[in-house]
Structure 1
Amino acid sequence: MALPTAYLTSAKNLKPILEAMQTAQAPDKFTTRFLVSLGFSSSSDRLIIGVLKALGFLDQDGKPTDRYYRYLDQTQSEKVLAEGIREAYEDLFKIRTDAQNLSSAEVINKAKTLSQGSMSESVLKKFSLTFSSLVKLADFSDPVLVAGSPASVTEDETEDSTASEVEKSPSNPKRQTKSSLGGLHYNIQIILPATRDPAIYDALFKSLKEHIIE
């Protein structure tokens, strides 16, 4: 189940903490001491560390990741946050690709189903509070590629498809046939003239049938 177990009990300082992170030099390790240095010392503020780990901003040792450093760029920070939210709350986005638009009540109901009832009502409310507060600070405008969608087809697949269509095209003058003489098998390729006159093709294939295939 791709639902984070980390959550906030209060989202009052969520935005200020994230803004403080952007203006401060990234630490070697994000600790409660670093959080205090940013001006946030309450026990509820410390829960942000677990949330940042869930979002992929910190590794399990508390060290900033590439996503953390990208978040420091305020021109793309909201999109980076959206990226982390989609990853952390993957199962919600599998149910609704626009899960960021779910109401708090809807988030609770979806989480209750996904967790198979393992979350208490208190935890569900805090889970919803955390998710709903995070998505308000993120930019989800960038499209998400879905496996199997036209945008996700690789270049090689496109080339293979194009080649296949060329071979099937009636305007392609190249034809291939097989012939068997005795115990031997031959692959014969015939380069047909570029013409729109069907009579020429009919005559060529009639001759092929009489003298080679049969």
Structure 2
Amino acid sequence: MALMTAYLLKTSNLGEFFNAIQSARAPERFTQQFLKDLDFRSSNDRLLVGVLKGLGFIDDSGVPQQRYFEFLDQSNSGRVLAEAIEEAYSDLFNLRKDAQNMEIAQVKGKFKSLTQGQKSDNVINNMAATFSALCEQADWSKPSKAKEAKKESVSKENEAANQAPHKSPDSSQLKEELADAEKKLELHYNIQLILPNSRDQAVFDALFTSLKKHLL
């Protein structure tokens, strides 16, 4: 299941947290101590590390990943975060491609369904609030890299199809088709011959001789 279950108990300082990350030098490992060095010392702030892991910013051991470094570029950080959210909550975006615009009550309902009722209402509420807060920090004005790649792939396929030469059947193929058609065109004639009431053998010989000459 591709649905991030990490959540925050407090989301009001999420923007400050992301700003702090961008202002600081990337650590070798993102630890609780580094979080304190960023001046996030509350016990609730410790949950921020889990959210970073869920978004693919750091791995399970806290080592920053490529997405973390891309996020440091403030000119593109909003788009990077949007892509991370789409990936972390892909099950939700599969249900609705603009899930970032859903009302929080709708998000709660979808989360409850996607987790098959295994999460308590408090957890679902916190998950939905975290998702909503993350979406507010992201930039949704540009298509994601995945969508751009898919669009480009479809465009190239259409272009290749339009440029592909239309092959005409060769002469041997045409000859075979004509031969098959001729075999199917068979004519059958039913000829009825009314014989005269005569015992003269010469009359019958003349009739059959004429039949052979003109029809056979």
- TM-score greater than 0.5 by the shorter chain: yes
The answer for the alignment partner of 2:166 in structure 1 is 167
| Higher fraction of strand | 1
The answer for the alignment partner of 2:153 in structure 1 is 152
- Once superposed, what is the RMSD of the aligned Cα atoms? 2.8
Separation in structure 2 between the aligned mates of residue 3 and residue 180 of structure 1, nearest angstrom? 59
The answer for the alignment partner of 1:114 in structure 2 is 114
| Higher fraction of helix | 2
Extract unaligned runs of 5+ from structure 2: 184-216
The answer for the alignment partner of 1:41 in structure 2 is 41
Separation in structure 1 between the aligned mates of residue 59 and residue 134 of structure 2, nearest angstrom? 19
Higher gyration radius (CA):
2
Structure-2 change in CA distance of 1:179 and 1:141 (3 Å): closer
Extract unaligned runs of 5+ from structure 1: 169-173, 186-208
> Could you report, residue by residue, the CA deviation over 1:99-153 in whole angstroms, capped at 9, with x for unpaired residues?
0001110100011111111111011000001000000000111225559x75432
What is the TM-score with the length of structure 1 in the denominator? 0.75
The question of whether the paired residues in 2 share the 8 Å contact of 1:7 and 1:51 is answered with: yes
Structure-2 change in CA distance of 1:180 and 1:95 (3 Å): closer
Give the total of aligned pairs.
Answer: 179
> Could you report, residue by residue, the CA deviation over 1:165-198 in whole angstroms, capped at 9, with x for unpaired residues?
x306xxxxx65232599xxx9xxxxxxxxxxxxx
Separation in structure 2 between the aligned mates of residue 177 and residue 50 of structure 1, nearest angstrom? 70
SS at match of 2:12: coil
The question of whether the paired residues in 2 share the 8 Å contact of 1:82 and 1:140 is answered with: yes
Structure-2 change in CA distance of 1:3 and 1:179 (3 Å): closer
The question of whether the paired residues in 2 share the 8 Å contact of 1:13 and 1:45 is answered with: no
SS at match of 2:172: strand
> Could you report, residue by residue, the CA deviation over 1:83-110 in whole angstroms, capped at 9, with x for unpaired residues?
1000000011001110000111010001
